[in-house]
Structure 1
Amino acid sequence: MKPGRFTQLYIHLVFAPKYRERLLIKEIRPEVFSYISGIITNRKHKSIIINGVSDHIHILLGMNPDDKISDLVACIKKESSSFINQKNWFKKKFHWQDGYGAFSYGRSQLEKIYNYIINQEKHHKERSFREEYIELLKKFEIEYSEKYLFEFFE
């Protein structure tokens, strides 16, 4: 903590494996998510919850204001890809898809977003990742172009 600096920044990140392949199978998720939590903690952020389904993940964290979101996401993707590839879980190399979503929340919203993230499997029985992601962009009034969204293969 630095003198005179008081922050409370909560960020919800969303990103997906390259080509939206359904590689994040249930059996490896706990280990992958734990590793990602370690990356977040090592960069002096607070890892609150990480969860997802086979084709994308959600991360809720307390943001360290000394780091940039783009640098954090790049680090998470690079280091977790290396970790996953060292495990030899797949015949070909694992990569994350380019891009990410980053959404900010206030403290009063944490319980709601936490429950949303923890219930991803249930949630995705009712709607696709594409529908979920576009809904987030609209909810936060983020302008977007279809050509720059994740590659969706539903």
Structure 2
Amino acid sequence: MEKLKLSALDAGDLEVISAAVQDSLVAVRDCAHFAREKRFVLLLNRFCWEAYATVETAYWRTHSALVFNQVNAVHHHNIPLERPDRVLDLLSVGLENGSSVVLRFAANRTIRLEIDRLACHLGDVGEPWPTPWKPAHPVA
């Protein structure tokens, strides 16, 4: 499986990245704002939606870095910052009003990034590993 490497400079590009990172797992400690560099980074345990299932392995996960540049401020809603080991389930990433990126997590948790312009990069790091579990969401 080839490592995924994507960039987003507009809302359409970000939709592709959002699909790729849907159901990624991220520990609170692995979300970092580097204010001097105007950068926000998440280290993800990404479910590989693009990987084909095989007889030996049904599904795959890999470590990935999701990086946003040109970030002026970060706002957390319902993120347990006092619990750095808490693992969050990333559901989507979207651009709102052209000036903010919203990362939506399960349990009504969000991180909002105020940006000058969209400059986002997703890259896989390390080697993927097999997992028997495929993320599922209850049907309403």
TM-score, normalised on structure 1? 0.24
More helix by share: 1
More strand by share: 2
TM-score, normalised on structure 2? 0.26
